[in-house]
Amino acid sequence: MSKKIAFLLSSYFEQAEYAEVDQLLIDKGHQTVLITTNDQKQVQGMKSDVDKADTFTADLFLKEANPEDYDAVVLPGGTVNADTIRIDKAAQDFVKSFYNNGKLVAAICHAPWLLINTGLVKGKTLTAYPSLQTDIENAGGTFVDKKVQQHGNIITSRNPDDIPAFAAAIDEALI
């Protein structure tokens, strides 16, 4: 059964963590919507936080999006993107709404920073980019070094190498 999935990001996100996950979920029959926290709909992808990659046009601004319209939210990483949205109160509220309503929250690479800032990490086991281990532990969570970790309705993953497993876990959780 097709589900509607929101991708939430700013700019300077890891392109593979958006574009490849998006395509894998579309291939599984899901509908995806790109939502940005930016004040313009053009968003900039990156390759390894160093090189600019493609630009994408978001479908909606965050202020126009309603969590009730979606079955899941996916948070791509990229250091700059993740650091930008983690302090965005509207992004925090958007993600908390998914979590509080039992909907799937999926974050890859540096994106679990947003989960830390929303207070959703305490008592949970997560994976992420290795440099987030101390942040997760300081927020009361447990860090594991695995391709994919699911704790309740939160799915986390480490990096672009884990994208196939990450997308498969999202798809399986939505079935």
Q: Which residues are catalytic?
A: 109-110
Question: In angstroms, how far apart are the furthest CA atoms of the chain?
Answer: 38
Given the DSSP bridges, would you call strands 125-126 and 31-36 parallel, antiparallel or unpaired? Answer: unpaired
CB-based burial label for 125 (10 Å; 0-12, 13-18, 19+): middle
CA atoms of 173 and 152, how far apart (whole Å): 10
Helices (H) and strands (E) in the chain, counts: 6, 12
Instruction: For the chain, give the number of residues.
Output: 175
